[in-house]
Amino acid sequence: MLKNLIGGRWREVDRPTLPVLNPATEEVLEEVPLSGPEEVDQAVQAAEKAFATWSQTPLLERLRLLFRFKGLLEEHAEDLARLVTLHHGKTLEEARGEVRRGIEVVDFALSAATLLQGRTLREVTPGVDQNLFHYPLGVVAGIPPFNFPVMIPLWMLPIAVVAGNTFVLKPSERTPLGAVRLAELFLEAGFPEGVLNLVHGGREAAEALAAHPGVRAVQFVGSEAVARRVYALAAAHGKRVSAAGGAKNHLVVLPDADLDLAVPAILNSAFGNAGERCLAGSVAVGVGGVGPELLERVVEAAQRLKVGP
């Protein structure tokens, strides 16, 4: 059974579990525990304890550790991609792209020495100078979705910690293995205990994070209904919150479109990533007389797609 990461230590959880499946074979890969408020509180307390020191750690030291983490991600990129395919089901090529997009966010976070600079403005009025400083918030919670188990945690974690915050990650209970591997590499990079904590679970754990008084900010990506719930709950408890939901995406094909380009683009949008992207095309609209030929060619191309590992 998977364990929670609390204060730098992997801890067993005595809770009901769900199976983590290989969707291509339905093989049970792991069991994921459904943590509750007690485990969430342990993680937040560990993050709060670490924040006292981490927030005072010089920026260059935080960057050195993040460079090490980035190096480990590069070294293990292929293994991460294969892990994504194993328990999510997207093709290996798409999984490689996911890992690469995640590493690119780490690249962005490594520009923190510039991004975190403040500014000084002298004599804004006689005898008055103005100074702007950036300070870390405290404990930040991240709740990513199932469809990008490596990329979206990497949207959240590197930027939060390089800015001096500590982090509690609640990965999807359907695809938690990518987050576990990221946490292992994070520890291997040498980050102090408690800077990253990982709590497995479902709705109960997510809502406990959104409501916990020790959490200062919440980052969420997932379905629209859950995004609204997380946003409302976190905002009601006075937190900063970013909640990105899904979308209904229309692909408009005009009469003068080059169908040799349009049809592959439609298939990639609709069926790429196993059809599980918030930006996946769900409706193709043929304008004017292009409709019948567009439909025929999309159907023909879709029938040639292969399903399986």
For the question of residue 285 being annotated catalytic, the response is no
SS3 string, the chain, reads: CCCEEECCEEECCCCCEEEEEECCCCEEEEEEECCCHHHHHHHHHHHHHHHHHHCCCCHHHHHHHHHHHHHHHHHCHHHHHHHHHHHCCCCHHHHHHHHHHHHHHHHHHCCHHHHCCCEEEEEEECCEEEEECCCCCCEEEEECCCCCCCHHHHHHHHHHHHCCCEEEECCCCCCCHHHHHHHHHHHHCCCCCCCEEECCCCHHHHHHHHHCCCEEEEEEECCHHHHHHHHHHHHHCCCEEEEECCCCEEEEECCCCCHHHHHHHHHHHHHHHHHCCCCCEEEEEECHHHHHHHHHHHHHHHHCCCCCC
Strands 4-6 and 249-253: unpaired
The CA distance from 177 to 83, in Å, is 7
Cβ atoms of residues 32 and 21 within 8 Å:
no
Which of 278, 280, 294, 298 is catalytic? The answer is: 278
Q: Active-site positions?
A: 278
